[in-house]
Amino acid sequence: MSDCLFCKIARKEIPAQIVFDEGDVLAFKDVRPQAPVHVLIIPKKHLARVLDLSTEDAPVLGDSWGGNALADRFSVRESGFRLVVNNGPDAGQAVAHLHFHFLAGRPLRWPPG
């Protein structure tokens, strides 16, 4: 997708604070962090929303998606973290490229707003 913001980040056409870049997955800091640690995990392949994942995408659903690499990187394996996927308008999805929010570093209220 030539005009997709996160595809441009994945292609390194626009800058981002990249946390890791492994195989089919990229993680970078959210530009408007909602917690001390707020990282977005994306497939480099353009998928507009989580509903578009299929079994062929299973290889990208590895450790990175589960947050393992980030949990260690930010030392929150024991203190905890939250993975969030917003899908569609009611969830407030603003960027139409699948992304998992990795949030940590403070107590997170439940339920979310």
Question: Under the rule (CB under 6 A), what is the footprint of ligand 5GP?
Answer: 5, 16, 28-32, 40, 86, 92-95
Among 27, 60, 74, 97, binds Zn ion (CB under 5 A): 97
Give yes or no: 38 in active site.
Answer: no
Would you call 24 helix, strand, or coil by DSSP? Answer: coil
- CA distance linking residue 75 with residue 33, whole number of Å: 18
Would you call 63 helix, strand, or coil by DSSP? Answer: helix
Taking the complex as a whole, the smallest distance from the CB of residue 7 to ligand 5GP amounts, in Å, to 12
Q: Is residue 8 close enough to count as binding Zn ion by CB under 5 A?
A: no
